[in-house]
Amino acid sequence: MARAVAIKFALTSFLLAAVLTGAGPAAARALQGPADTTVSVAELPRQGRETFELIRQGGPFPYPKDGSVFFNRERLLPAYKRGYWREYTVKTPGSRDRGARRIVCGGPPRLPDACYYTADHYASFRKIVEP
């Protein structure tokens, strides 16, 4: 019990210090991994390149949840109004479900403003860049 109280106190102190020094949420996101690292389309796994091409064609998509709104709860992507970000499944060979790989795009469906790739189910993102 005393250990739990000590841990809570330490975390609270750390967060208070971050707020007072101006580090705040931006510093917390930096610790989680910035969304400003990039990956070229050619560097995506084959399934990622296929999904990216389907996005540009407007579908059809193999999974019913493809194209659904991504809420950016992790706050690793730039902040926009709800509905801006949409997620698409990148098939994972050998997986019985949708797996952990996704492409998340913002803006108009066929010509998105930006797309990001995650191989770890939203724990980190890499911006997709085209040559």
Catalytic residue annotation: 87, 121
**DSSP string spanning the chain?**
-HHHHHHHHHHHHHHHHHHHHT-HHHHHHHHH--TT-EEEGGGS-HHHHHHHHHHHHT---SSTTTTEEP--TT--SPP--TTSEEEEE---TT-SSS-S-EEEEESSSSS-SEEEEESSTTS--EEEE--
